[in-house]
Structure 1
Amino acid sequence: MTHGADDSSARTGNPVRGSVEAHVLANLGLLASLRPQVYEPHHEVLKRELDVVRLEEAARRQGLESIRMDPLVRVLQDESRALGFFKNMSSRVLYLDRATTNRKHLTRRILARHDIPLARGLEARDADGLVEAFRAIGPPVVVKPVTGSGGTGVVTDITSLDQAHAAAAPVLAAGRGVLVEEMVHGVDLRISVLEGRSVAATLRVPANVVGDGRSTIAELVAAKNELRSQSDYLRHQPIILSEEKDRFLAHQGLTPASILPAGQRVLLHHVANLSAGGDSYEVHPFLHPEITALAERAASFFSSSLHAGVDILLERLDAPLDEQRAVVCEVNLNNEMPMHVYPMYGTPVPLDELELAAHWRVESTIPAHTLREESAPGAVTVHMDEVTELARPSYRPPAPSPSDGHALGATLRSLDNEYLLATFRSIDTDAEFAIPEGGLIHRRDGGNEQAAERYDRTVLAGEVGRNPSVMHRYARASGIRVMARHRLRSGQQERALELAGKPWRHWLLHTPRADGSTRTVRIESGDQLEEHWAAVEKSRATMVETPFDPACVLLMDATTLLAAQLRVPLTIVGDGRTGLGELVEHHVAARRAHAPLASLTTRLNTPELLTSRHLDPGTVPAEGEQVQIGRSPMLSDGAATVGLNALPWPGLAELAARFVGAIGSDGVATVAFVPRRRDATNATWALWRYHSEPPLALFHSPLHGPGYDPYPAIARRVLQGPTRELAVI
């Protein structure tokens, strides 16, 4: 158990002898009274699903209703209120805390700001920085990516620059930084803190076996794996005898065929994580109070989460901090609750019951009526002539960008950063601002520095925005109409053809490829579907209804509407003189000269656009005639942004507020609706997309119509909202 060795993917440069075994054996001597636990399997789910399944079971025992949104997402509710969970992170956990704990260098800076003991370490962003960090820290060191989890990319016991370069090269090549930290030898402890109090602690011991004088090491491993297989948690994490473990045994003069004397314990490697086959001991009663107090302090700086798992490396479980070396390694908000529910040794802690009770006590819950379909507002209908009139494009030559002075072709995120930094500097002239991390804002004023998050979103809101399936289920549970999604398997061709043949419906057919990627084709007729059905018969597919008409996108601040705009499929208006090819070129040129859309225009090709619609570029539309070239309101398909002075359909704002309220997020987001036609002229608005980190420059500078400047409101929200204090470097 060495600093940084926290997953089976971690690699050891040189075997570390003596001190690791000594620390392990000394602490296991304190735990001699703990007996192996025997479990009966109950849950045939993946390891990552076990958190939310256990919470769901605890909720049902308390009489709560559960709504399944996804294998990893549940909503638990009673008659008056509800609470969402992504894994075991509730709908109150801020992305700010998740982002800072996922970025190891920021976790270090937050903990260092409050004098939490850490291993000495430095961040490196390139090869030169790696050399400087290695020489400043001195070998042996650990190299790990600054972002990531599960120990992926962690390399321990590095004693030379060549080893350091080899460890860091894949991470640096991917454009990420690494941390170079001193190697700290000790035992690996995970303490779970709930509502500011430590309630459980797991000692993680590297995979090992104890001899009985008769069995080989391989047979002892098989027996231990049989014990692990009875646990819903540990059965996913068997001990695997690999070449690496063979080499480790060889350094001890052993092989998998060796027979150990009775009572002799042999480590199979030094990686303490349970996913590498490690043993788990529930040891909270054995801990010195100063150790639990250290964990409680470390967790307190990430206050939106009621619970956290704090990883500590230390020499003794029962010794005060001034008598040993102890450092905090990580703080985990997704802290694997089943680790404590299913220990191999020691008394299980019902952390599922404890966490649910704690979360249910908080006030920031969701009114249950927002997730009851019968209490939903009625459908918001629209006459398509209203949409067509507002979306009518006007012929114009290429115009200068409405964002003069901003680089054409810059990404939308870069433009947002530029606008937002300028707004910060105009509001707070005494501070310095930077945006070094995606979505995080750093403010420095003299000797103080804080990190904030621009959208004030929650972790659950981010998952809803990332996962269309979860978004659809949230909408349906809230009584909000959505674009259709259908899962198809072999033998369902008749059903699929029925869907493809429905009038006013367009579809995207998603089928998996052998390499794990997804193949997407547009389906506008039964004939097209039949051409691609062979791929469905081989595997499975999803047919997703896709809009053909303009979308209405609402920018929301929690449940308050800030602005609205239309996203209009590429449509041109004839002048009676100019051919289609030239008219489309005018549109594409206008987008290229428009900063917010320029980066989304690079792949637009006029001949391809016209060919896809079977149109002749030489055709001259009559004056005033509208020709829709684009197939969707997606900006990447050439759609235009049209600002609106007011929202013509007030019921949409009510639906958007209901949807974000059901998620429980008070942040800034966009909610997009599209007309779902009943016939040629009448439609009902349906939810299309939800974006928890929307590009704001699109509202600031639309291609047509009035703009809305969101940056002052965003800046004030950031300056007045939650922050995390950072050590100044």
Structure 2
Amino acid sequence: MVNIEKADLKIIEREEADFELKEGLKSALLEEAAIKRGYKVERLGFDTMILTLEGKDLLFRDMNGPLSSAAMMRIVDDKYRARSLIKRQNITVPESTYLRIHERDKIKAFADQIGYPVVLKPNDLSRGEGVHTNINDERALMEHLDKIAELIGNEYERILIEKQFNGDDYRFFVVDGTVFAASKRARANVTGDGEHTVLELIEEKNRLRAKDRDLKHFLIPTEKNKLGRLYREGRTLETVPDKGETVVIRDESNIASGGDGIDFTDTAHEAFKGIAIRAIQAIPGFHYGGVDIITNDITKEPAKDEYVVTEVEFSPGPMSMSHWEGKQRDMPNPILDFYLKNLDRL
């Protein structure tokens, strides 16, 4: 390892409180970890840089380096094709199909076949963009297809339609056959005190999130058009929830949508960790990434019909480093260790 005293001290001396999102968050976190360990970093752009590890220059985008190929990214980001590979490993995935937006009759027929409620997902968007859940009838199905068509701007693009599986959403972070984090992805929510409105509770929670160097970039929105679940369940921003009542605000479950990460790394059942590892290994050459699992109890060994793996993530967000509850779990250092271990392959 390079002696840390020879590294760029000006960058090392950045205090965490002064950390600003001048680069992509994932890229910035990897850069910070590398510099703290004494490695040279050359920033090339918003999310790209060269890390020099033991004399070898490695090009990274976000936290993905030379052992994360473009072909792999293409397959992993294609939810339907990735699922087909995962399913071969005897892992449960949602019943789904892959159709173009304009194929309305086929989409309707598939929804009738698998039964409502269903979920619509653009095949290769991220951060929950364009995902519509709890679709309970044909009219709602057509309305949401219109919204996705407007978002994408092309009715010939393919989307996933799948059977909805109800449960809690978990993200596993796997590197080289080891689970380093398991996080519950709780949907954006507030807890009532019997006195304040939902809006006031959101504003107070956002004040707390704003104190976190990473969560401050992902506050809970207050625009009505982004609060579908709140209004669908008969509440508004002016509702005053009862003391202790949890109000779920959005259907999306990621941090970028205002959600909360809750640490389950030590309490997740080993069987689920094994499923996450096998899901990563199902993609040839895929060494590290995220695995999303929905289940009702992550602490117990599941039967085959008690969970689904919804997708794998080529470049997962750093949820585990910004847990709202529980221990913070490192992401960049396990990745650095992986590359140091495999320098002879580069």
Common fold, TM-score beyond 0.5? yes
Larger radius of gyration: 1
Q: Aligned-pair distance for 1:262?
A: 3.0
- 1:142–1:182 Cα contact (<8 Å) kept: yes
Partner of 1:44, secondary structure, is coil
In the alignment, which residue of structure 1 is the partner of 2:168?
187
Q: 2:66 aligns with which of 91, 100, 105?
A: 91
CA RMSD of aligned residues (A): 2.4
Partner of 1:83, secondary structure, is strand
In the alignment, which residue of structure 2 is the partner of 1:664?
none
Q: Aligned-pair distance for 1:331?
A: 0.4
1:497-512 equivalences in 2 (<5 Å): none
Provide the C-alpha distance between the structure 1 equivalents of 2:204 and 2:281, rounded to a whole number of angstroms.
Answer: 41
Q: 2:336 aligns with which of 356, 361, 370?
A: 356
Provide the C-alpha distance between the structure 2 equivalents of 1:78 and 1:198, rounded to a whole number of angstroms.
Answer: 24
Provide the C-alpha distance between the structure 2 equivalents of 1:361 and 1:163, rounded to a whole number of angstroms.
Answer: 51
Per-residue deviation, residues 79-111 of structure 1 (Å, max 9, x unmatched)? 532222101101121122111111111012111
In the alignment, which residue of structure 2 is the partner of 1:105?
80
Provide the C-alpha distance between the structure 2 equivalents of 1:247 and 1:152, rounded to a whole number of angstroms.
Answer: 13
The reply on whether 1:119 has 2:83 as its aligned counterpart is no
Distance 1:250 1:96, change over 3 A: closer
- 1:156–1:183 Cα contact (<8 Å) kept: yes
Q: 2:326 aligns with which of 328, 346, 356?
A: 346
- Which fold has the larger relative contact order, with Cα–Cα distance below 8 Å and residues 6 or more apart in sequence? 2
In the alignment, which residue of structure 2 is the partner of 1:289?
270
1:325-724 equivalences in 2 (<5 Å): 325-336=306-317, 338-363=318-343
In the alignment, which residue of structure 1 is the partner of 2:295?
314
Q: Aligned-pair distance for 1:324?
A: 6.2
Q: Aligned-pair distance for 1:250?
A: 5.3
Partner of 1:199, secondary structure, is strand
- 1:144–1:154 Cα contact (<8 Å) kept: yes
Q: Aligned-pair distance for 1:57?
A: 1.6
Partner of 1:179, secondary structure, is strand
Letter in 2 for 1:167: H
The reply on whether 1:45 has 2:26 as its aligned counterpart is no
Letter in 2 for 1:45: L
- 1:315–1:324 Cα contact (<8 Å) kept: no
In the alignment, which residue of structure 2 is the partner of 1:268?
249
Provide the C-alpha distance between the structure 2 equivalents of 1:143 and 1:246, rounded to a whole number of angstroms.
Answer: 18
- 2:95–2:162 Cα contact (<8 Å) kept: yes
Letter in 1 for 2:68: V
Provide the C-alpha distance between the structure 1 equivalents of 2:187 and 2:94, rounded to a whole number of angstroms.
Answer: 21
Partner of 1:318, secondary structure, is coil
Distance 1:252 1:111, change over 3 A: closer
Q: Aligned-pair distance for 1:190?
A: 0.4
Partner of 2:332, secondary structure, is helix
Provide the C-alpha distance between the structure 1 equivalents of 2:194 and 2:138, rounded to a whole number of angstroms.
Answer: 43
Provide the C-alpha distance between the structure 2 equivalents of 1:78 and 1:141, rounded to a whole number of angstroms.
Answer: 47
Letter in 2 for 1:111: I
Q: Aligned-pair distance for 1:292?
A: 1.0
- 1:117–1:326 Cα contact (<8 Å) kept: yes
In the alignment, which residue of structure 2 is the partner of 1:447?
none
Give the alignment's TM-score, normalised by structure 2. 0.86
Q: 1:141 aligns with which of 93, 103, 118?
A: 118
Letter in 1 for 2:20: E
Per-residue deviation, residues 24-55 of structure 1 (Å, max 9, x unmatched)? xxxxxxxxxxxxxxx96432115x71111111
The reply on whether 1:237 has 2:218 as its aligned counterpart is yes
Partner of 2:76, secondary structure, is helix
Provide the C-alpha distance between the structure 1 equivalents of 2:34 and 2:250, rounded to a whole number of angstroms.
Answer: 39
Q: 2:52 aligns with which of 77, 101, 104?
A: 77
Provide the C-alpha distance between the structure 1 equivalents of 2:228 and 2:124, rounded to a whole number of angstroms.
Answer: 30
Provide the C-alpha distance between the structure 1 equivalents of 2:75 and 2:26, rounded to a whole number of angstroms.
Answer: 22
Partner of 1:359, secondary structure, is helix
Per-residue deviation, residues 296-316 of structure 1 (Å, max 9, x unmatched)? 110112343431100111111
- 1:314–1:324 Cα contact (<8 Å) kept: no
Provide the C-alpha distance between the structure 2 equivalents of 1:129 and 1:251, rounded to a whole number of angstroms.
Answer: 27
Per-residue deviation, residues 538-566 of structure 1 (Å, max 9, x unmatched)? xxxxxxxxxxxxxxxxxxxxxxxxxxxxx
In the alignment, which residue of structure 1 is the partner of 2:137?
160
Distance 1:224 1:64, change over 3 A: same
- 1:81–1:365 Cα contact (<8 Å) kept: no
- 2:296–2:306 Cα contact (<8 Å) kept: yes
Q: 2:34 aligns with which of 56, 59, 72?
A: 59
Per-residue deviation, residues 97-132 of structure 1 (Å, max 9, x unmatched)? 111111111012111222210111112233343233
Provide the C-alpha distance between the structure 2 equivalents of 1:164 and 1:246, rounded to a whole number of angstroms.
Answer: 19
Per-residue deviation, residues 316-358 of structure 1 (Å, max 9, x unmatched)? 121211286200011001011x211121111111222222112
Partner of 1:198, secondary structure, is strand
The reply on whether 1:209 has 2:219 as its aligned counterpart is no
Partner of 1:59, secondary structure, is helix
Per-residue deviation, residues 617-660 of structure 1 (Å, max 9, x unmatched)? xxxxxxxxxxxxxxxxxxxxxxxxxxxxxxxxxxxxxxxxxxxx
Per-residue deviation, residues 377-419 of structure 1 (Å, max 9, x unmatched)? xxxxxxxxxxxxxxxxxxxxxxxxxxxxxxxxxxxxxxxxxxx
Provide the C-alpha distance between the structure 1 equivalents of 2:232 and 2:45, rounded to a whole number of angstroms.
Answer: 47
Distance 1:154 1:251, change over 3 A: closer
- 1:306–1:359 Cα contact (<8 Å) kept: no
Provide the C-alpha distance between the structure 1 equivalents of 2:18 and 2:231, rounded to a whole number of angstroms.
Answer: 39
- 1:202–1:281 Cα contact (<8 Å) kept: yes
Q: Aligned-pair distance for 1:365?
A: 5.9
